[in-house]
Amino acid sequence: MSSGAGMLLDPTQTGALYPAGPSARSAARARISLIQLAEILDVAEDAVITTDARRDIVLFNRGATVLFGYTAEEMLGRSIDLLLPERFRARHPEQMEEFARSPAPARLMGARREVFGRRKDGSEFPAEVSISKFGAGAELLFTAIVRDATERKRYEAAQRELEHLRAQAELADAQARAEAQLRETARQREQALAELQAKTEELRATTQQLWQAAKLAGVGELAASIAHELNNPLGTVSLRIEGLLAKTPADDPRRRPLEVVEGEVERMAGLVANLLQFSRAGRDQVSTVDVCEEVSRTVDLVAHHLRKHGVLVEPQFAPGVPHIHADRQHLRQVFLNLFTNAADAMPRGGRLVPRVRAGALPDGRPAVVIEIADTGVGIPAELRDRVFEPFFTTKEEGKGTGLGLAICRRIVQQHHGTLEVESALGAGTTIRITLPTRPDTNVDRLRDAPP
C-alpha cells in the first residue's frame, strides 16, 4: 500500500502492520485508519519509519526517502539496521528488546551518546531520534521519527563560539576603566570579528579545495583502472604482432602493414603509460627538456584529431630557445590538453599556432615562453576567471570534464611557472605558459608537490 514516495507494507503479505480484529469490519476500519495515517505521515518533512518486532521496516515515508536516499520500495521488508552505521548494528537488537520490555511508551535517543544515521551512499549524519511503540508480542510495532541534526550541531558550535567571544568581550569591558580603554576594547572586538569572518571564509575555501581534491583523486583512480584493463589486451596483441613479424621476410609485401599495426600498438601502449603516470603520485621524472621538440611531438600525437576538426597547425619556434629542466610527461600532458581544447573551440576549422621563444618571468628570471593561440570561438569575459576551476567547462554537456585547464595550471605551478589566458569572444584564445630555465628555480620541491 503506497502513498507518494512513502509506502506502507501490504497487510495481506505479512500481517505485521494490521493486527487481526474480532471481525472483518473492525479489521477493515483499522486498515483504512493506518492507510490514512501513512498518507498523513508522507507529507511530514521528518523521516518516519515503522518496524515490526523483527526490526523489519513496514512504513517508510517521503521524509525518510529524502533523508536516507532509499526509496520506500527498496526498504520495505528490510531490516532497519541497514540505516545504521556498522559500528552500532551489533548492539541494536539488544537495545530494541530492552525498550520493548520497558514500561515507557516512548523515549528520546541520544541522551547519553550521539546517534548517527547512514545514507544509501554510505555517508553518515548526526541524528535526533524519538522512538515510540504500540501493540504487544508479535504485533509490537516501533515508530522512529528521525531528523538530521547536522545543521543544529553546527549552529550550537557557532553559538558556543559566539558565547565564548561575548564572554571575552564582557571581561574586557569590565576591566576597562576609562573612555579611551573602552574605545580600544571596541576596536579590538571589531578586529576580532573581522578576523573571525576571515577565518570562516578561509575555512570555507579550504573545505571546497578538499572536496575538489577528492574528486581529482577519484579521476586518477579511474584512469589507473582503465589503463590496467587496457594493458593486458595490448600486451597480447603486441606479442602476436612480434611473432608474425618474426615469421615474415623483409621483402614480403605483408610485412609493411604488420609494422604499421606494431607502431600503432606501441602508440596505444604509450597512451596507457601516460594514464598510469597521471594517476600515480610522487613519481615525477625530471630531465632536460627541449620544449620545441615536445611541442612538435605532441602535435604529432593529436594530428588525427586536429585534421578531423579541419585545424591547420602553424608552429613558430624562435631560434636559440634554451632547454629547461622539467617532467617531460607532465609537460606533454599540458600541451595535449591545450591542443585538444583549441581544436574543440574550432568546430568549423581554423588555425592553431604554437609559439616557443625565450623570455623572462615577472621577477626577471630567464624563462621559456610557450603560447598556444587559436582562432576559435573565444571565452566570454565573465567566464574567463573560472576556466581554471576544477569541473568547470564552457563546453556543452557530455563533451568536457572541466579538468583540463585545472590540471595544466597545477603542473605549471609545480614547475614554478605562470599560466595566463587572453581571449576575445569570436576572435580566439591564447594560452601563455612561462617556465623558468634554471634547474634550481623550476624543479625545487617538484617531487614534493601534491599530485
Tell me the per-residue pLDDT of 225-280, one tens digit each, with 9 for 90 and over. Answer: 777 777 778 888 888 888 888 888 988 888 888 888 888 888 777 777 766 655 55
Q: With pLDDT > 70 as the criterion, what percentage of the chain qualifies? A: 77
Domain termination residue (choose one: 90, 119, 148):
148
Confirm whether 275 is domain-assigned. no
Tell me, what's the pLDDT at 136? 75
Specify if 372 maps to a domain: yes
Q: How far apart are the C-alpha atoms of 424 and 408, rounded to whole Å?
A: 21
Q: In the structure grid, which three cell numbers stand for residue 107, read together? A: 523515549
Q: What is the CATH number of the domain that holds 438?
A: 3.30.565.10
Cβ within 8 Å of residue 22, ≥6 positions away: none
Measured between alpha carbons, how far is 218 from 340 in angstroms, rounded to an integer? 22
76: domain CATH number? Answer: 3.30.450.20
Output the average pLDDT for the chain: 79
What is the mean predicted confidence (pLDDT) over 314-326?
Answer: 91
Crossing angle of the two packed helices 328-344 and 291-301, in degrees rounded to 10: 50
Where is 414: in which H helix or E strand? helix 404-414
More confident: 40 or 12 = 40
Range of the domain at 21: 2-148
pLDDT of residue 284: 61
The C-alpha angle 123, 126, 132, rounded to 5 degrees, equals: 115
Q: What are 3's three cell numbers?
A: 502513498
- Tell me the pTM: 0.41
Number of domains in the chain: 2
User: Which residues have C-beta within 8 Å of that of residue 295, sequence separation ≥ 6?
Assistant: 315, 317, 335, 354, 356, 370
Last-in-domain residue among 85, 116, 148: 148
d(C-alpha 433, C-alpha 451), whole Å: 20
In tens, the pLDDT along 348-396 reads: 888 999 999 999 998 888 999 999 999 888 877 777 677 777 666 665 5
Give the pLDDT confidence score for residue 68 in this predicted structure.
94
Residue 211 domain-assigned (yes or no): no
**What is the average per-residue pLDDT within 96-117?**
80
Residue 292 CA, chain-centre distance (Å), reads 35
Q: What's the pLDDT at 2? A: 46
Q: What is the DSSP letter of 125?
A: E
Q: Is residue 67's pLDDT more than 90? A: yes
The yes-or-no verdict on residue 451 having pLDDT over 60 is no
Q: Give domain status of residue 230, yes or no.
A: no
Task: Kindly state whether residue 166 falls inside one of the protein's structural domains.
Answer: no
Domain boundary residue among 122, 148, 174?
Answer: 148
Cell of 234: 595490448
Question: Cα-Cα-Cα-Cα dihedral of 352, 356, 361, 362, to 10°?
Answer: -50
In a domain, 215, yes or no: no
- Any domain includes 204: no
262 belongs to a structural domain: no
Q: Closest by alpha carbon to 279, among 328, 341, 339, 216?
A: 216
The CA-based diameter of the chain, rounded to the nearest angstrom, is 104
